[in-house]
Amino acid sequence: MINGGKPLVGHVSVSGAKNATVALIPAALLANDRCVLENLPLIRDVKVLMEILEQMGAKVREDENGTLEIDSSDLNHLHITNGKVKELRASYYLLGALLARFKEVSMAYPGGCDIGLRPIDQHVKGFRALGAEVEIEHGMINLKADRLVGSHIFLDVVSVGATINLMIAATMAEGTTVLENVAKEPHVVDVANFLNSMGADVKGAGTDVIKIRGVESMHGSTYMVIPDQIEAGTYMIAAAAIPGGDVVIENVIPKHLDSIAAKLTEMGVEVQFNGDSVRVISKGRPKCVDIKTLPYPGFPTDLQQPITSMLTQAEGTSMITESIWEGRFRHVDELKRMGADIKVEGRVAVIEGIRDLSGSNVSATDLRAGAALVIAGLMAKGQTEINNLFHIDRGYENLEGKLASLGAEIKRIKY
């Protein structure tokens, strides 16, 4: 429940990156050993992965500071039918990790946010190129290989998931694997760094080409996840969206925020980087802008929904082109309930800026749609009730607590 219209003022600290974390946890299974992951966000996706790992025979322990210990030396269960797998997309990283370590795995088809078609053909193509037999039947994906051998794999689409999964799968393949046309997202680099800390030989992460020289075995490691680029961007937008906002967002990697900072600046918002923090100062009603979502370093699709909320009150007409997920406009109907003037045609949304949103009863349809509605609620006049918070809890640590500490009138009514 949000009482809107209050500018956000103060300091807020960003948690560990969700989309890195959900890959680091499965990657920890590559070692017949103990890994410690630090600074993990306290979010539902982590809990779900922990439950899946436990059922596979791993020993898992998390403390309240986000340090997770994973001991997978007794891992024995390679047939993962658990319904939890369907709760998050990232469960597909278990395929790459277990194929690499055991040459065999069988898992229910992964789920995740409903934001459009979510094929995994590039993952499958890569597993096959490394020498695995892949069968998809009765809702299960079955992988099996006598041996994995390095290969030259050119991705047809720039896919974060396929890049990370194939990097993980190739760590212990014989010879060298070259992945081309890969994703360059910060979490791709983070996973590569973690793999190297476990004894892998991965080079080129962060560029278009990644080379992996297979090693015999991997060992345990202690590793700290990077801060969450999307959480940081969400607070930047929230700070900028309500006139009078002045927020210092701490624990960020400025380079990861270049595209969102540039867009906010174009909208007339003041953005100042200082070491590992960024200060965002709202200068009143923002200007309209056009945005096209693109793979990193372009404007991230995961911030498209939050910034759409901000643009509903911008001066003039904005156009958003969603080039990654064709179904990522489901928040628009909810924003319309709050008075927004938005037309969607295929992958394009045209937003006519209005003066005021009005509080309403809305529902989160997916994770970032949830964040978008929270921002809209903070901007709106009157009271907004947001339902289906479980989407938000999947990926934002203590969103309402952090916003309340910035002066927002927000409280959770029901868990």
Is 35 a binder of ligand EPU (CB under 6 A)?
no
Q: What are phi and psi of 132, to 5 degrees?
A: -90, 145
Structure tokens at 322: 């969603």
Report angle CA 339, 344, 345 to the nearest 5 degrees.
Answer: 160
Q: What distances in angstroms separate CA 348 from CA 167, 179, 225, 372, one per listed residue?
A: 33, 31, 34, 17
- Closest by Cα among 293, 309, 204, 298 to 256: 298
- Closest by Cα among 104, 97, 124 to 26: 97
Catalytic residues, which ones?
Answer: 113
Is 162 a binder of ligand EPU (CB under 6 A)?
yes
Judged by CB under 6 A, which of 122, 193, 308, 318 binds ligand EPU? Answer: 122
Is 120 a binder of ligand EPU (CB under 6 A)?
yes
Handedness of CA 187, 188, 190, 195 (dihedral sign): positive
* Contact window for ligand EPU (CB under 6 A) among 73-81, 109-117, 241-249, 400-408: 109-117
Judged by CB under 6 A, which of 190, 302, 393, 400 binds ligand EPU? Answer: 302
Is 157 a binder of ligand EPU (CB under 6 A)?
yes
Is 90 a binder of ligand EPU (CB under 6 A)?
yes
Handedness of CA 78, 82, 84, 90 (dihedral sign): positive
Nearest residue to the partner ligand EPU, using Cβ: 161
Report the residue number, 84 or 368, with the smaller CB distance to ligand EPU: 368
The site map against ligand EPU for 123-142 (x = CB under 6 A) is: x-------------------
User: DSSP letters of 220-275?
Assistant: --EEEPPB-HHHHHHHHHHHHHSTT-EEEEES--GGGGHHHHHHHHHTT-EEEEET
* Contact window for ligand EPU (CB under 6 A) among 3-11, 52-60, 156-164, 262-270: 156-164
CB of 103 to ligand EPU, least distance (A): 22
Burial of 76 (0-12, 13-18, 19+ CB in 10 A): exposed
Is 368 a binder of ligand EPU (CB under 6 A)?
yes
Residue that has been written with the tokens 């997202």 in this structure: 185
CA distance 134 to 306: 38
Report the residue number, 22 or 202, with the smaller CB distance to ligand EPU: 22
Burial of 137 (0-12, 13-18, 19+ CB in 10 A): exposed
Judged by CB under 6 A, which of 4, 16, 41, 161 binds ligand EPU? Answer: 161
Is 89 a binder of ligand EPU (CB under 6 A)?
yes
CA distance 414 to 276: 35
Judged by CB under 6 A, which of 14, 17, 22, 380 binds ligand EPU? Answer: 22
Is 205 a binder of ligand EPU (CB under 6 A)?
no
CB of 240 to ligand EPU, least distance (A): 20
- Closest by Cα among 222, 182, 17, 59 to 168: 182
CB of 354 to ligand EPU, least distance (A): 27
Query: How many of the chain's residues bind ligand EPU (CB under 6 A)?
Result: 26
Structure tokens at 128: 């096959």
The site map against ligand EPU for 319-358 (x = CB under 6 A) is: -----xx---------------------------------
Q: Which residues bind ligand EPU (CB under 6 A)?
A: 19, 22, 89-90, 113, 115, 117-123, 157, 159-162, 183, 301-302, 324-325, 367-368, 395
